[in-house]
Amino acid sequence: MHNDNVSSDSDESADTTEEDTGSTTEESAYIAKNQSYKIRINVSRNIAIIYSIGSNNGFDNVVKAFY
């Protein structure tokens, strides 16, 4: 990974939720310093989704999903 987009105050978050099946879902998100893409990872389902900025300045355009 290039360190050009890494900053100490980057927007990283991790959420853990409990579902009806009793399994734990862990998700994390990373937004690059230049804020052109958002990477969201669901660890329990082994899914990574790359978003780009949409028309309303939110990350709603899916660029690529890895299953």
In 3D space, the residue among 37, 32, 40, 42 whose CA is nearest the CA of residue 9 turns out to be 32
CB burial class (10 A; 0-12, 13-18, 19+) of residue 53? middle
Q: Is residue 66 included in any domain, yes or no?
A: yes
Q: Is residue 9 included in any domain, yes or no?
A: no
pLDDT at 11 over 50: no
**pLDDT at site 23:** 60
Q: Look at residue 4 and give its three-state secondary structure.
A: helix
Which domain, by its residues, includes 52? Answer: 27-67
For the question of whether the overall pTM of this predicted structure is more than 0.85, the answer is no
Contact assessment for residue 51 and residue 40, using Cβ atoms and an 8 Å cutoff: yes
Mean pLDDT for 17-32 is 64
Summarised one tens digit per residue, pLDDT across range 49-65 is 999 988 787 888 999 99
Q: Is residue 11 included in any domain, yes or no?
A: no
In this structure, is the dihedral angle defined by the CA atoms of residues 43, 50, 59 and 5, taken in order, positive or negative?
Answer: positive
Summarised one tens digit per residue, pLDDT across range 33-47 is 777 888 899 999 999
Q: Is residue 43 included in any domain, yes or no?
A: yes
Q: Is residue 8 included in any domain, yes or no?
A: no
Q: Is residue 35 included in any domain, yes or no?
A: yes
Total domains present in the chain? 1
Percentage of the residues of the chain whose pLDDT score is greater than 70 = 61
